[in-house]
Amino acid sequence: MAAGTLLGGSRRGRSASAGRAAELRAEVLAQPFEALKKRAVPKRAPAPDDWLALHAEVGQPFSAYALGGPVRAARYNAFDLVMLGELDGAHRRVASVVVAYARAFFGVPVRSALTARLEDVPADAWRRHPVTRHPQLRTGPLLEGVLRPLRPRDTIGVIALTAADLYPEEGWNFVFGQASLEDRVGVWSLARLGDPAREFERCAGRAARTAVHEMAHMLSLPHCIAYECVVNGSNSLRESDQAPAEPCPICLQKLCWNTGADPVKRAEALVRVARDRGLTAWLPLLEERSAALRTL
Ligand SMILES: [Zn+2]
Ligand SMILES: [Zn+2]
């Protein structure tokens, strides 16, 4: 389940231990990932409502990932990004940034030809929010009834983008998105990421960061607790806005090992996308990483 809010309060778990995070950071990685560690920021202690204050997470070293039988990109041909329902011009531009960013991020094809209609969603999947009365779509019937049937056999995973607002079950206000890793399908809403006509970069960045986070899960990466990382769990827009757009050295080694991406070429491709598509806030970090990787 992705971040969202429960009506009437939130659940509280226990935070992961700082000792475990330090243990994960001590794993010796292959080069150039090991050398990137000195530029990486160790995961900060969570604020009271942050993901790690509410959810028990143990993290995972690279070695356990490689030995654990993860979903391998090489078994499939591509990711699929599905447009669900009508998107207006600004939201379509956001979706095209997501596709470009995800392609560079994973170094595997990301197809965007599939579409699905909101008319195909079962009528009983809609509700009116109990307080605001605005229409919302339940994620379960959408994942099972609409996205799973159209999933191509050769896809690593399907991520749907929609302008509709989502909720996971009664008792919840909303949810940003939800994925079923078993079924390799997920859905993400653009409804609460801001107004792309007024603040395009912020919305496109949020959508791109969210998509690559979910797609990393589809390649079996669990949440990261070792460093500040795009694969960190997040409980709110405030928290995910603070996370970097890039994986930490451990998660980067997992991704490059899985997809076969060359980390130097990957970093250069991300700089080009950020420059061409107006993700200017991410450029300093991406350029710094690209320059560092070229010298290692
Ligand atoms: Zn996640
Ligand atoms: Zn990480």
pLDDT tens digit sequence for 221-238: 999 999 999 999 988 899
| pLDDT confidence of residue 4 | 63
Q: For residue 294, how far is its CA from the centre of ligand 1 (angstroms)?
A: 30
Residue 84 pLDDT exceeds 60:
yes
Q: Which domains does the chain have, with CATH numbers?
A: 1-68+223-259 (no CATH), 71-219 (3.40.390.10), 262-296 (no CATH)
Residue 6 pLDDT exceeds 60:
no
Max CA pair span of the chain: 57
| pLDDT confidence of residue 277 | 96
Nearest ligand for residue 252 CA: 2
Q: Are strands 135-138 and 126-128 parallel, antiparallel or unpaired?
A: antiparallel
pLDDT tens digit sequence for 36-58: 999 999 999 999 999 999 888 99
Q: For residue 194, how far is its CA from the centre of ligand 2 (angstroms)?
A: 26
What is the chain's percent helix, strand, coil content, to nearest 5?
A: 45, 15, 40
Residue 12 pLDDT exceeds 60:
no
**CA 180/CA 203 separation, integer angstroms:** 24
**CA 236/CA 233 separation, integer angstroms:** 10
Residue 168 pLDDT exceeds 80:
yes
pLDDT tens digit sequence for 101-148: 999 999 999 999 999 999 888 898 999 999 999 999 999 999 999 999
Q: Which of 57, 214, 239, 246 is catalytic?
A: 214
Q: Identify the three-state secondary structure at position 274.
A: helix
| pLDDT confidence of residue 235 | 87
Look-up of token digits 């391998």: 72
| pLDDT confidence of residue 16 | 52
| pLDDT confidence of residue 2 | 59
- Higher pLDDT pick, 16 / 105: 105
**CA 248/CA 251 separation, integer angstroms:** 5
